[in-house]
Chain A
Amino acid sequence: MNCLWCDEEITSDVTWSNVALPTKAKSLCEGCEKELTVLNGSRCLRCSRVSEEKICKDCKWWEHYMGGEDVLTANYSVFAYNERMQDMIAKWKYRGDYQIGFAFQGRFTQLFKKQFNDIKNIVAVPIPLSKERMNERRFNQAEMLAHFLPIEVDSVLDRVHGEKQSKKNRYQRLSSENPFKLQKAINKPVILVDDIYTTGTTLRHAARLLQQHGCPITYAYTLIRG
């Protein structure tokens, strides 16, 4: 196996733990693995931002903005958005190197089990791409992430084409109309899956739509906290 990022062959030293038992094949070499930062320590319970407060300022603002109750119960993110992550995302999403996604698979499933294990009957709903964007990229990174998870995946959302979210600021994002359409209602707990949580607007748009149609509770699980 070669490293998915630097294409160097991955060799592991023989230790007591792997001398008899086969080990899981790694997708990133040690050096590249180190470049990624897994978030830990005290974080905002709602958006996963590194913060001393239980609910960060932003999320309090959201709560207030939505009239007392946030449609998004909790977001959990796995990695911090550092320089290497930025490069990896660019290559994966924008250049379209599908394979890079598998570099995140291990951590993404591992932490899912830790965080969301005790919620029963949960359905994963990936944040969709618009048709136009899908034609360009040929795959949806959120869908890829959702399929890593050991739960049912139901892609019930559609997206109306608009400008890229990453080119807008918070105010523009907020004031824009809900870009999603629902194909069918889900009345089970939903976990929204996306690659990055930046301002949380996209996820809240999706969560609100789902809840308007009978979804009892919405979580989010994202690869990166931007």
Chain B
Amino acid sequence: MKKPSSPAEGLPPSDQVISKNYSGKLLLRNEIRLEEPQFRALPFTPIPSIKRKTFSHECQRCHNQKKSLFASIPCSSCQKTHLYCRKCIEMGRIMECEPLYECSGESFHWPRHEAPCSWDGTLTEVQQQAADRIVHAVKNNERELLVWAVCGAGKTEMLFQGISEALKDGKRICIATPRADVVRELKPRIQQAFAKVSVQALYGGSKDKDGTAQVILATTHQLLRFKHAFDLLIIDEIDAFPFHKDTSLPFAANRAKKDIHTTIYLTATPRQHHRLQIAFNKLPHIFVPIRYHGHPLPVPSTKMCYSLKKPLTKYMPPRSFMNWIKQRKNQSRQILIFVPTIKMAEKMKENLQKILIADNMIKDPKEIDFVHAEDPKREEKVQQFRAKLLRVLLTTTILERGVTFPSVDVGVLDSGDKVFDEAALVQIAGRAGRSSDDPTGEVVFFHDGRTDAMVQAIQSIKKMNRRGGFIE
């Protein structure tokens, strides 16, 4: 048993500390770091961890109801064979014989901050409009607000005033995003902007583990440990996989907020159901159509490649793709290439490397590399590309969002593949022209037959540009 995390070693932690550490959470016994007598003296309410329903079961932490994700285990401690949840097992196993605990004592009063925001940048006019709208929502405890901002609009900065407003009222805030990369990138920016406020980042393998700060940055999975905890919940990239596919995540987000709360959704590419809600005026929203540097989004062009699959099965780049690389208008830009599979990224890199060296496009074989989700050196490689140590980077859809490179041209190989849905393609196109020094960039989809996703992605980018006041 680990020692209790009390401020004064040996002394029982004060009620304040207990309620700060444990109120608003839903935890397993081994996640509560208190000795048994102390634990029993405190108002922890046990909740059965797996609910048996007529035809199914339900994990009370992750809301899993899928049959194949429950299994039986002959438990050596209770000597019975009972269920456990396989879905949220990475966060500590939920066993039927062990309840979840909720601290039912008084909830913690978070400090009110007079002037919490130490960010001194300025917002553009459109950004300011959105920021004002967010502040308004926070002040009036509006339940929901969707912020639809194009890629590169500067979403994080637009949030600062709203967060300040919440901190002035002593509210607790969570910014949840589907990707650990984004949490990692966000942490220093938020901590810098709110220097005097406690900020913690939670993701699988993060240094902060206990989630006891007033401002929490978390992957959506980490929300599963919270219950009625947040006054202001900001969900970044609401459209991103896995949030829109995994029902447990919206469930967790819903449970993590208090009864009176504000939820703000951020997205550049809202999914169908949100668009419908907007169209029927069911969901308040604000649209930010212009990038922070005031230039329109680069509109992708499509390039038909006859017999595209033939070179691709040999992991060779198609000829029209090589032509494009050589004929790009601005040769000084780096090249970001999206491919549908990890294997493709890996094999294509070797072939492309040879060709580019033979053609004298790059001098050092180290100037080209690839990344994918399971790459242990992912962060390092992205950093190298950002520092311009790499000229060419092959990637799977993992880099479609949340990352900024100042000056790149983007190519998508086999953009008809099903991994490239409309949202993914819009996000990918949004990687180009991010900085004000080089606000344009080429985006080319290489395909062997245009798909609906490609057509819709281009249309929706054009539409966003029109709404931003740009005339084609």
Chain A positions within 8 Å of B, measured between CB atoms, are 1-2, 7, 91, 95-99, 134-135, 138-140
Most buried by B among A1, A7, A98, A139: A98
Beta-carbon contact of B68 and A95 below 8 Å: no
Binary CB contact string for chain B from 93 to 137 against chain A (1 if under 8 A, 0 otherwise): 101000000000000000000000000000000000000000000
Q: Which of B68, B76, B84, B90 contacts A2 (CB 8 A)?
A: B68
* Chain A proximity of B246: nearest CB distance (Å): 12
Residues of A within 8 A of B69 (CB): 7
Q: A2-B68, A7-B68, A7-B69 given as contacts; is B93 within 8 A of A95 (CB)?
A: yes
Q: Is B73 an interface residue (CB 8 A)?
A: yes
Q: Binding site of B, secondary structure by majority: helix, strand, loop or mixed? A: mixed
Beta-carbon contact of A91 and B68 below 8 Å: no
Q: A91-B89, A99-B71 are in contact. List 6 more A-B contacts (CB 8 A).
A: A1-B68, A7-B69, A96-B93, A97-B86, A138-B75, A139-B74
> How far apart are the CA atoms of A138 and B94 in the complex, in Å?
12
Beta-carbon contact of A134 and B76 below 8 Å: yes
Residues of A within 8 A of B84 (CB): 96, 98
> How far apart are the CA atoms of A78 and B86 in the complex, in Å?
26
> How far apart are the CA atoms of A78 and B90 in the complex, in Å?
27
Could you list 22 examples of A-B contacts with CB < 8 Å? Answer: A2-B68, A7-B68, A91-B89, A95-B89, A95-B90, A96-B89, A96-B93, A97-B89, A97-B93, A98-B71, A98-B73, A98-B74, A99-B73, A134-B76, A135-B76, A135-B77, A138-B73, A138-B95, A139-B73, A139-B74, A139-B75, A139-B76
Residues of A within 8 A of B95 (CB): 138
> How far apart are the CA atoms of A11 and B89 in the complex, in Å?
26
> How far apart are the CA atoms of A49 and B84 in the complex, in Å?
36
Residues of B within 8 A of A99 (CB): 71, 73, 86
Residues of B within 8 A of A2 (CB): 68
In the complex, residue of chain B having the shortest beta-carbon distance to the beta carbon of A7: B68
Within 8 A of A (CB), among B406-455: none
Residues of B within 8 A of A97 (CB): 71, 86, 89, 93
> How far apart are the CA atoms of A2 and B67 in the complex, in Å?
10
Residues of A within 8 A of B86 (CB): 97, 99
> How far apart are the CA atoms of A95 and B72 in the complex, in Å?
15
> How far apart are the CA atoms of A140 and B73 in the complex, in Å?
11
Residues of A within 8 A of B93 (CB): 95-97
Most buried by A among B69, B86, B95: B86
Residues of B within 8 A of A135 (CB): 76-77
In the complex, residue of chain B having the shortest beta-carbon distance to the beta carbon of A135: B77
> How far apart are the CA atoms of A135 and B68 in the complex, in Å?
26
> How far apart are the CA atoms of A138 and B89 in the complex, in Å?
14
> How far apart are the CA atoms of A91 and B74 in the complex, in Å?
17
> How far apart are the CA atoms of A40 and B291 in the complex, in Å?
59
> How far apart are the CA atoms of A7 and B85 in the complex, in Å?
13
Residues of A within 8 A of B90 (CB): 95
> How far apart are the CA atoms of A97 and B72 in the complex, in Å?
10
Residues of A within 8 A of B71 (CB): 97-99
Most buried by B among A95, A96, A134, A138: A138
Beta-carbon contact of A138 and B76 below 8 Å: yes
> How far apart are the CA atoms of A99 and B71 in the complex, in Å?
6
> How far apart are the CA atoms of A7 and B69 in the complex, in Å?
8
> How far apart are the CA atoms of A55 and B143 in the complex, in Å?
71
> How far apart are the CA atoms of A135 and B73 in the complex, in Å?
14
> How far apart are the CA atoms of A135 and B89 in the complex, in Å?
17
